[in-house]
Structure 1
Amino acid sequence: MTSRSVTRAAVIGTAIEFYDLALFGLAAAIVFNDQFFPADAPLAGTLGSFTAFAVGFLARPIGGVVFGHLGDRVGRKPALVLTLLLMGLATTGIGLLPTYDQVGLAAPILLVLLRLVQGFGAGAEYAGALVLVAETSDPRRRGLRAALPGMGVQIGILIATLVFTAVAPLPSFTSWGWRVPFLLSLVGVGVGLFCRIRVPESQLFERERAHGVSRFPALEVFRRQPRSLLIAAGINAPYGAIGYIMNVFVLSYVTKTLGLPATVGLIANVCSAAVGIALMPLFGHLADRVGRRPVFLGATLALSVFAFPMFRLIDTGRPELVIFAVTLGYGVFVTAMFAVLASILTELFGTRYRYSGIAISREWTAALTSGPAPLVAASLVAGAGGASWPIALLLVGLATIAFLTVLLAPETRAKDLDERVSQEHVGSGAVI
């Protein structure tokens, strides 16, 4: 199977998995507060929904270690198949849950349990797709190829948002209509499994396995490449929080605080995802031409400058300005960061523990920053009496942290991932 075929399978599988993740975020922002929490306490319901959203991220570091270990010892392919299966079944289960009015406190408890299963499966999904694509790519085009699973992420978000937007206006939406997108996940699982079972194992991993795999890759990456882990975590932590503030919290803010119809925020997410799909390969290609660092640094700087104007546009309450602000902020600036982050991560770690290194650096920071980000943002707005300036300031701070961290990262454009240098096994820094 060619590199193009491997990339296609990775993109399709990632799109299906992030369809599942995006659905939970959309439902948490719009409908879960009414379905799984007391109707007479709307603020508590909103905070409860975002808490359930954040809880899933607690399982992601565990899933990252488990599936990263499996991917580095047994193979990239088995880990990718299992993560897809876990997430799809958990998402379908959410669509079958009873509501708070039907079973009381059991409803939010069951929601949280399935969210934990979903988070466990998500713990190494993107990392696995990224590793498989990067290890089968031409080093001269790895920035482009590695960015394409990120395009799958945007496709999943776009499809989830389109489906949710289609059912939201239905009179039956609050009774059973919201369940339809979750139940459709079962179809996606079948498609994804068909694609991923046909994908061959990474030849780079097979060559590494011939020399002997690591017994405990997660421990080895901490011991051999601590600096790479710190750099990866220092980039992922602020990036993840920025992403979830933009496409989860802003949706709730527009609907609950500004009082606009839910379709306004949903259309904004659709437009930003569509623009992200179009621009992801372009930013990946640009990273191959000029380097990883210049593109990422430019994106974080642009987002910092745009943060306050973005919320000024959103606060006008005019649908077209809300859609424009979210599309520019997320669809362009956040997409640029995401596209380049893919190649940065794959080129920071050695093959023996590449899967574990990426999964750990992504998922531990996701648990600390990405999951709680919408909850923190909602609390800041509530504390400021509904004002949005604390969120704009938070975005500037997060972008600044990412900017400073990338300044410390090596430029790894066109690096040969198959190069077996001594630094990979005995050095403490990044493999350059």
Structure 2
Amino acid sequence: MTTRTLEGYEDRAGAVIGSQQTASSRRRILIAGTIGTAIEWYDFFVYGFIAPLVFDQLFFPKFDQLAATIAVFATLAVGFLARPLGGLVFGHFGDRLGRKSVLLCTLLMMGLATISIGLLPTYSSAGAIATIALVALRFIQGFALGGESTAAILMAIETSPGNRRGFSAGVVQAAGSVGVVLASFAALTISRLPEADLLSWGWRVPFLISAVLVALGVYMRLRIEESTTFREAPEAATVPAIEALKSHWRSIIIVLFAEVAQTSYFYLTAIFTISFATRQFGVQKDVITRAVLLANLVALIAMPLIGVWSDRIGRKRIFLAGVVLAAVSMLAFYHAVATREPLLVTAAVVLAAGVIHPLMFSTEGSYFPELFPTRIRFTGVSIGKQFGTVFGAGIAPLVATSLFAQTGTVYAISGYYVALALAAVIALSFAQETSKSRLLG
């Protein structure tokens, strides 16, 4: 089997031996990955925050309120349904050709789709064509994020010393929170506009801002080098997905169930809560959007620290602790939100999305890739992660809305998440600890 240019490898202590990838190069890669990831997550999540506020009126005006809410969350789900396809396509080329080219392509694709959403006509002026275009653009967003969410992490950990992979992954994962913070801030700002201004032009501004952000991200990513670990690894199979499914299916299943628990928890306590709390419990829009913003500011600080912690005590136990705490917290979360007391609502959201969720989200950045060899790492992680996202975040708000509509109680939503968490705990019981092992070739 032929190999790519051999420029170095990591020993078990994490020292880089014979590598030509300098410390400054590694810093550029980490910074570029962090900035680009923040931009892509801003683009993806600004839709998630703004759609529940106004898209029911702009693109689904002929539905009653509950049906329109379900329709909005269905468009959210379209983005997640596209992510596995994006993960497979970009995973294939990422394992065959490299991580850098994927990072550039996904950033441009996401940015153009986001800007286009900001330019869309509404249902009142274009009818069903506007709704169809919205769904198509949301699909493109999900397709792009299916590659981005894995590529940036791989570049970070594949260029980091072995004893700092958790920290590097935590920094890139924290960039996701930066994107969510920016999106939350944008949603909070426009939510204060008069209703007429919000519906006429205000909702477009956060989407159009993406043009400036994407230009910055492309500039940063053009200046980075390819991952040394990728270049030194054996070449991938002609179809990496076949090798991944054949030889590493256990790791894929573990990643899938763990990702379902992680993503569904965040979406149930943050994204879904924006619409659910305002429409069902009467919580003020600015109270809940401010709570989500604060939660992500807390997570921004927590995730690098959790990454360092995982380098010291291991990834598996931290992720498991996050899953268990998430399940326990869900039993009381919606009752706290239902009080409509601003301080209690804020505390519940911050604890969930700012403290408990990072235990899972920060840790998975290094844990999932470490389960796979370099030659099929992009594809293996993408299959498990993106399909897990579909069954987690992609359908969780839709399922939660439907469960509440049928039962009229939040206990049904809590029970739904507890079942997902239990499945993740069972899957993770078959996983090994990876923090002290070197990356596989």
- Tell me the TM-score range normalised by the shorter chain: over 0.9
Q: Which segment drifts farther, 75-84 or 219-228?
A: 219-228
Give the direction of change, closer, same or farther, for the CA distance of 1:40–1:293 in structure 2 (3 Å limit): closer
| Distance in 2 of aligned mates of 1:157 and 1:324 | 18
> Structure 1 residue 265: deviation in Å?
1.3
What does residue 427 of structure 1 align with? none
Look up the SS of the partner of 1:236 in the other structure: helix
Q: Which segment drifts farther, 65-74 or 239-248?
A: 239-248
What does residue 148 of structure 2 align with? 125
Q: Is the 8 A contact 2:109 2:140 kept in 1?
A: yes
> Are 1:181 and 2:203 an aligned pair?
no
| Distance in 2 of aligned mates of 1:395 and 1:58 | 20
> Are 1:416 and 2:438 an aligned pair?
yes
Look up the SS of the partner of 2:225 in the other structure: coil
What does residue 215 of structure 1 align with? 238
Instruction: Name which of 426, 433, 437 aligns with 1:404.
Output: 426
What does residue 205 of structure 1 align with? 230
> Are 1:337 and 2:328 an aligned pair?
no
Instruction: Name which of 98, 101, 115 aligns with 1:78.
Output: 101
| Distance in 2 of aligned mates of 1:402 and 1:19 | 28
Q: Is the 8 A contact 2:310 2:363 kept in 1?
A: yes
Q: Which segment drifts farther, 151-160 or 260-269?
A: 260-269
Q: TM-score, normalised by structure 1?
A: 0.94
Q: Is the 8 A contact 2:253 2:427 kept in 1?
A: no
1:7-53 Cα offsets, whole Å, 9 max, x none, are 11111100000001111111222111011012562222111111111
What does residue 218 of structure 2 align with? 193
Q: Which structure 2 residues correspond to residues 39-50 of structure 1 after superposition, within 5 A?
A: 39=62, 41-50=64-73
Q: Which structure 2 residues correspond to residues 282-321 of structure 1 after superposition, within 5 A?
A: 282-321=305-344
What does residue 57 of structure 2 align with? 34
Q: Is the 8 A contact 2:258 2:388 kept in 1?
A: no
Q: Which amino acid aligns with 1:190?
A: A
Instruction: Name which of 287, 290, 295 aligns with 1:272.
Output: 295
Q: Which structure 2 residues correspond to residues 330-369 of structure 1 after superposition, within 5 A?
A: 330-369=353-392
Q: Is the 8 A contact 2:109 2:141 kept in 1?
A: yes
What does residue 413 of structure 2 align with? 391
| Distance in 2 of aligned mates of 1:11 and 1:401 | 31
| Distance in 2 of aligned mates of 1:328 and 1:350 | 35
| Distance in 2 of aligned mates of 1:315 and 1:394 | 18
Look up the SS of the partner of 1:212 in the other structure: coil
Q: Which segment drifts farther, 122-131 or 212-221?
A: 212-221
Q: Which segment drifts farther, 396-405 or 406-415?
A: 396-405
What does residue 93 of structure 1 align with? 116
Q: Which structure 2 residues correspond to residues 136-155 of structure 1 after superposition, within 5 A?
A: 136-155=159-178
| Distance in 2 of aligned mates of 1:273 and 1:134 | 23
| Distance in 2 of aligned mates of 1:203 and 1:81 | 18
Q: Is the 8 A contact 2:261 2:323 kept in 1?
A: no
**Structure 1 gaps, min length 5:** 421-432
1:377-397 Cα offsets, whole Å, 9 max, x none, are 111111122x32212222222
> Structure 1 residue 70: deviation in Å?
0.9
**Structure 2 gaps, min length 5:** 1-23
| Distance in 2 of aligned mates of 1:416 and 1:238 | 27
> Structure 1 residue 346: deviation in Å?
1.2
| Distance in 2 of aligned mates of 1:321 and 1:383 | 27
| Number of residue equivalences | 416
> Structure 1 residue 99: deviation in Å?
0.8
Q: Which amino acid aligns with 2:210?
A: S
Q: Which amino acid aligns with 1:342?
A: G
| Distance in 1 of aligned mates of 2:168 and 2:63 | 50
Q: Is the 8 A contact 1:238 1:399 kept in 2?
A: yes
What does residue 109 of structure 1 align with? 132
Q: Is the 8 A contact 1:71 1:79 kept in 2?
A: yes
Q: Which amino acid aligns with 1:292?
A: R
Q: Is the 8 A contact 1:293 1:407 kept in 2?
A: no
Give the direction of change, closer, same or farther, for the CA distance of 1:359–1:181 in structure 2 (3 Å limit): same
What does residue 250 of structure 1 align with? 273
Look up the SS of the partner of 1:137 in the other structure: coil
Q: Is the 8 A contact 2:25 2:225 kept in 1?
A: no
| Distance in 2 of aligned mates of 1:198 and 1:319 | 45
Q: Is the 8 A contact 1:51 1:375 kept in 2?
A: yes
What does residue 91 of structure 2 align with? 68
| Distance in 1 of aligned mates of 2:324 and 2:263 | 16
Q: Which amino acid aligns with 2:225?
A: P
Q: Is the 8 A contact 1:142 1:414 kept in 2?
A: no
Q: Which segment drifts farther, 387-396 or 87-96?
A: 387-396
What does residue 247 of structure 2 align with? 224
| Distance in 2 of aligned mates of 1:200 and 1:372 | 37
| Distance in 1 of aligned mates of 2:100 and 2:205 | 30
> Are 1:236 and 2:259 an aligned pair?
yes
Look up the SS of the partner of 1:2 in the other structure: helix
| Distance in 2 of aligned mates of 1:245 and 1:311 | 10
| Distance in 2 of aligned mates of 1:316 and 1:213 | 54
1:121-175 Cα offsets, whole Å, 9 max, x none, are 1111110001110100111111111111110100000011101211211121111
Look up the SS of the partner of 1:31 in the other structure: helix
Q: Is the 8 A contact 1:63 1:120 kept in 2?
A: yes
| Distance in 1 of aligned mates of 2:235 and 2:290 | 50
Q: Is the 8 A contact 2:259 2:392 kept in 1?
A: no
| Distance in 1 of aligned mates of 2:350 and 2:419 | 21
Q: Which amino acid aligns with 1:183?
A: L
Look up the SS of the partner of 1:123 in the other structure: helix
| Distance in 2 of aligned mates of 1:137 and 1:46 | 44
Q: TM-score, normalised by structure 2?
A: 0.92
What does residue 21 of structure 2 align with? none
